[in-house]
Amino acid sequence: MYNMDDDVFESTKKAITNFENIKECIQGLWEILNLNLSHENIYFQMGQDNIEALYQNLLELMINDLGTIEFMKRLKNAEIDLDLPLDNLLR
């Protein structure tokens, strides 16, 4: 028998796991930046700004219920470009 609550539970569990993975990736980027560059280095400062902005935007996206629903609709309709060229790392 189909149980929608099970689907919601699994989707929620997956979303929490995805969020935790994203946090770990952001933390990893920070650690790499912190290990390799002096805090006075302009590249360190730019990297730090971008990492902080990434995390802040992620949090804002997650608490924006109505915007997130509309975003997901557009994503499913291929209105949002997911391509992020990272020198072909993702291919």
Q: Give the amino acid at 19.
A: F
Is the pLDDT at 91 greater than 70, yes or no? Answer: no
Specify whether the CB–CB gap between 67 and 61 falls below 8 A.
Answer: yes
pTM score: 0.71
Structure confidence at residue 24 as a pLDDT band (50, 70, 90): very high
Domain boundaries, the chain: 40-80
CA separation for the pair 82, 2 (Å, rounded): 32
Contacts of 22 (CB under 8 A, 6+ apart): 58
Residues 45-83: tens digit of each pLDDT: 999 999 999 999 988 888 888 888 888 888 788 877 777
Contacts of 51 (CB under 8 A, 6+ apart): 26, 29, 30, 33
Specify whether the CB–CB gap between 54 and 26 falls below 8 A.
Answer: yes
